[in-house]
Amino acid sequence: QVQLVESGGGLVQAGGSLRLSCAASGRTFSRYGVGWFRQAPGKEREFVAAISWSGGNTYYADSVKGRFTISRVNAKNTMYLQMNSLKPEDTAVYYCAASSRGYLTTATSYDYWGQGTQVTVSS
């Protein structure tokens, strides 16, 4: 089992920045690919970014490419999502997830999920 806890969400104006954190406990975090997903009201959960177990490979949704950066520090069992140039359409609940299959873009490929943290971007 891997337990994931997100933090760092909040209310920010358009153009601002936030950094989300995801703290992991349980099985060896470094063995898992990890990702961030988000879900806005009335919409399906969508992929945001993912990073390989070593941190050497990353992948981003087109909607956040160039604005968001995913990273991880395995020694701290923590993953981050730095979000810059935020837009109102980035408003959603953000979830971190871990996968034993690698750094993937589909939610069904992930084995463990956090509870989510709300990000609200005002215009």
Give me the residues paired with residue 120 across strands: 11
Cβ neighbour number for residue 37 with a 10 Å cutoff: 25
The SS3 assignment for 18 reads strand
Contact (Cβ atoms closer than 8 angstroms) between residue 59 and residue 103: yes
Per-residue pLDDT of the chain (123 residues; tens, 9 = 90+): 899 999 999 999 999 999 999 999 976 888 899 999 999 999 999 999 999 988 889 999 999 999 999 999 999 999 999 999 999 999 999 999 999 887 788 999 999 999 999 999 999
